[in-house]
Amino acid sequence: MKRTRSLFLICFFNLQFITAFAQEGEKERGFWSGAVTTRYMQTSNKGTLEDFSILASYGKVGYHIKLRDWLKFGVSGNGLIHYGTGGIDKRDQTTGSGPIYEANLWNSRLMSGSAEFSLPELYLDFKFDSHLIRVGRFIEDSPTINGEGWPFPNALKGLWYKYQPLVGFNAEAAFIDRIASRFSGDFENIGNTIGAGGLGVGTDGSGSQYWAATNSNFVAITKLGYRFSGGLDLAFWNYYTDNISNTIFTEAKFDVGEDKDWHIAGQFIYQTKIGDGGNNSGILQYKQDESASGFGFMVKKDISKSALSLAFTRIADGSRLLLPREWGKEPFYTFQRRTRVEGISDVTAVVVKWESSLDKENHKLNMFSSLGYHSLPNPADASKNKYQVPSTAHLDGSIKYSPKNKLRGFSAELYVAGRFLAGETVSNSAYLINRADFFHSDLILSYIF
């Protein structure tokens, strides 16, 4: 982390020179942005299984400036501090398991001491008409690689190109040779990022050992899209991960109705093995199956300032679909907070979600609730279930309060979730702890400036 701190100091000590360079050309002045978040997270498992909790704060400060009409500079730094790790260092006596969600805020395998720092953004934008080229360290959102930002954002290092006309055809292309996962904030070789957040088991049931043994040097990304005037939006994404996999993701979205208040969407994903799947030794191999696929659809109805949606996901039987959780959120319409189906085959998921916004004179309330059923293969079947998760029903909800006057920029959110075993009886406690029959809460206090 010493290198990150040095880069951070060098960048911010040179901001005065950069600002002067912009002013000489009488361009837009730079602006600062930032946010500070304090978070208390707790998981209560059923019966005598261990409970886990953590209190941590993290923040971000950034500076962005337009140096010329065609040139923009951006930099940002992140910091994380915890107030004791007693709630996540303990292990359950029956299963030997530690926390899952709380460890996302402080990964004891990758972090030490009481504070960590990261420099996720340090980039230049070159813009010419409808073309934009971004070079350096940056955060970008795409279906399977995105900036899931707690405590650190999933940042990328490389080059990202965008063709962005006002209407019609659009395209993107990227070459990424380093990723800083949210679990550490350190930019690592592509292969070394995989496994930072969790290893699961191999197809033979033994503990996976691919972390720091996966050979992959880059990710190449392409996107082709078209926006039709009638409300149809098509997108084709391809992710080529060197020596691991090639993943195709396609999506169609359509807004219908006289007021365009009905939204219909469909998606398809297909993944094949590339090279030796990360390592030519079976016990060290990340991608073991030759191919995997899945699809889903969603229908959503806007109702005044609320929305109600129904979503469905199906991952085919036979092969585990791998989307590194170190690279961001899953793209499935049935995604719920604290749930993932990555690493699993033979999945059927259905989710109903309601969301609403109340905009008052002095404050704003954002609320949502969702109920999902996730039918998964037997957690003891390692060939299909990498993280040994049973079938569950997941109910969650959130309310977020944001004042508008003196405390503008502040927000307080309470998120709660309950997950319940919904399939065959599971007697092995290792398949239940943090996976089923638990209650989870997350209090998030934030200030954005």
Helix 15-24 and helix 2-13: axis angle, to 10°?
30
Q: What are the CB-based long-range contacts (under 8 Å, 24+) for 303-309?
A: 303/261, 305/356, 305/357, 305/358, 305/359, 306/354, 306/355, 306/356, 306/357, 307/354, 307/355, 307/356, 308/352, 308/353, 308/354, 309/263, 309/333, 309/352, 309/353, 309/354
Confidence of residue 441 (pLDDT cuts 50, 70, 90): very high
pLDDT at 23 over 50: no
One-letter amino acid for residue 86 of the chain: G
List the structure tokens of 266.
């469909």
CB 9 within 8 A of CB 418: no
Query: Among all chains, which residue has been given the structure tokens 């009409």?
Result: 69
Domain count, the chain: 1
Q: How far apart are CA 105 and CA 116, in angstroms?
A: 11
- Over 90: is that where the pLDDT of 84 sits? yes
What confidence tier does 383 reach under pLDDT thresholds 50, 70, 90?
Answer: very high
- Examine the pLDDT at 20 and tell me if it is beyond 90: no
Query: Which of 14-23, 107-116, 334-343, 386-395 is predicted with the least confidence, judged by mean pLDDT?
Result: 14-23
* pTM score, whole prediction: 0.92
Cβ neighbors of 412 (< 8 A, separation 6 or more) are 400, 401, 443, 444, 445, 446
Q: How far is the C-alpha of 139 from the C-alpha of 162, rounded, in Å?
A: 14
pLDDT tens for 119-178 read 999 999 999 999 999 999 999 999 999 998 889 999 999 999 999 887 899 999 999 999
- Token pair in block for residue 187: 């930019």
What is the arithmetic mean of pLDDT over 265-279? 98
Domain carrying residue 420? 2-448
Name the average pLDDT for the chain.
93
Q: How many Cα atoms sit within 13 Å of 144 on the Cβ side?
A: 29
Half-sphere exposure of 324 (CA within 13 A, CB side): 31
Convert the pLDDT of each residue in 296-318 to its tens digit. Answer: 999 999 999 999 999 999 999 98
pLDDT in tens, 38-83: 999 999 999 999 999 999 999 999 999 999 999 999 999 999 999 9
Model confidence pLDDT, tens digit, residues 239-251: 999 999 999 999 9
Check residue 90 and give its pLDDT. 96
Please tell me the predicted confidence (pLDDT) of residue 24.
46
N- to C-terminal Cα distance for the chain? Answer: 26
Average pLDDT, integer, range 259-287:
95
The pLDDT of residue 3: 52
CATH number of the domain at 273, please.
Answer: 2.40.160.10
Structure confidence at residue 28 as a pLDDT band (50, 70, 90): low
What's the whole-number mean pLDDT along residues 353-377? 96
Q: Encode pLDDT of 189-232 as tens digits.
A: 999 999 988 899 999 999 999 999 999 999 999 999 999 988 89
Task: Calculate what percentage of the chain has a pLDDT beyond 90.
Answer: 87
Q: How many helices (H) and strands (E) does the chain have?
A: 4, 19
- Distance, in Å, from the CA atom of 186 to the CA atom of 178, rounded to the nearest integer, reads 9
The arithmetic mean of pLDDT across residues 435-448, rounded, is 98
